[in-house]
Structures are given as structure tokens and as C-alpha cells.
Structure 1
Amino acid sequence: MAILTVRNLPDEVHRAPRARAAQHGRSTEAEVRALLEEAVKPQGRLKLGSLLADIGRQMKLTDEEAALITTRDASPPRAVAFE
């Protein structure tokens, strides 16, 4: 994992994550990680399941067709041939 050092923080900026960390019951370092992660993750990020459900709705899949997608192939695995 990467290490980040931030120098010359104003005192009030340094105190704020410490206070938030105490409210959330975690270390200042963990709070700063959470703040950074929240600040940089994309807004409105879709999860894969939501995206696939939207695609299914656009294609107007029937319930029977959707059931086929979730049905698992029970056949035994085959050996891979690299030739």
C-alpha cells in the first residue's frame, strides 16, 4: 500500500478528522482514509448487478429468459487444451 504524507496542515484542518474519528470510533488515520476514499470515488457509480439489470430491461427479457441466465451449468469441468 502507498503512504501519503501531508505537510503544513492548518491546525483546524488537522483537528477536524481527529474529532470525526472520535465520533466514528476509529483512528485518525482510518478516518482520513475514509475521507479520501469518499472524496475521490466517482459520483453515481453503478454496481455491476444494477448495470446488468438495466441491460436486461432495455432488451425486454422475459422472466424465462432471465431465469436461463441465472441457471448454472452443472456439467463437470473439462480439461484445458493449450494446443
Structure 2
Amino acid sequence: MFTPETWFTIVCSMMIHAVIFGVGAILVLSIPALAGHAKILLPLVVVAAFAVAPFSALAVAPRMRLRSWGRRDWKRGAVISG
């Protein structure tokens, strides 16, 4: 089947897709100039989020594994987790 890393990447990709879509939908619907074109822009937001999410997940998912953090990394933190 799939390795745990692949599952983390898939699940992380779905979560990132939801966040990107939510931010894009809020921007499109809350800006009056864009709200008039929402019929075209909302599907574009879905496609853009679907295209960007897997690449973002490839950067985030490996950091979800405890073994990828060394003692020094835990003390220092990371760009992703703060």
C-alpha cells in the first residue's frame, strides 16, 4: 500500500487545499470588484488551490514526523512551525 510518508503528504495536501481555497474564496467574495466575477474566479481558486497544495504538502509533511526532528532542531524551531 502506501508508506506513512505518502499518507502524511496526502492528508497534509488535503488540509492545505482547504486553507488555500478558504482564503481565496474569502478574498474573492469580500472584495466588491472581484465579487462581480465570482462565477469565473471561484473555479479558478479551486484549480489554483488544487495545483499548489501538493507542492506545499511536500514541504510540510516531512516535518510532521517526529524522527525528522533532531534535538538541535527542537530547540531551534523551524520556519514552518515557529
TMscore range, shorter length: under 0.3
Decide which structure has the larger Cα Rg and report it: 1
- Which of the two has greater helix per residue? 2
Q: Which has the higher contact order (CA 8 A, sep 6+)?
A: 2
TM-score if structure 2 supplies the norm length? 0.28
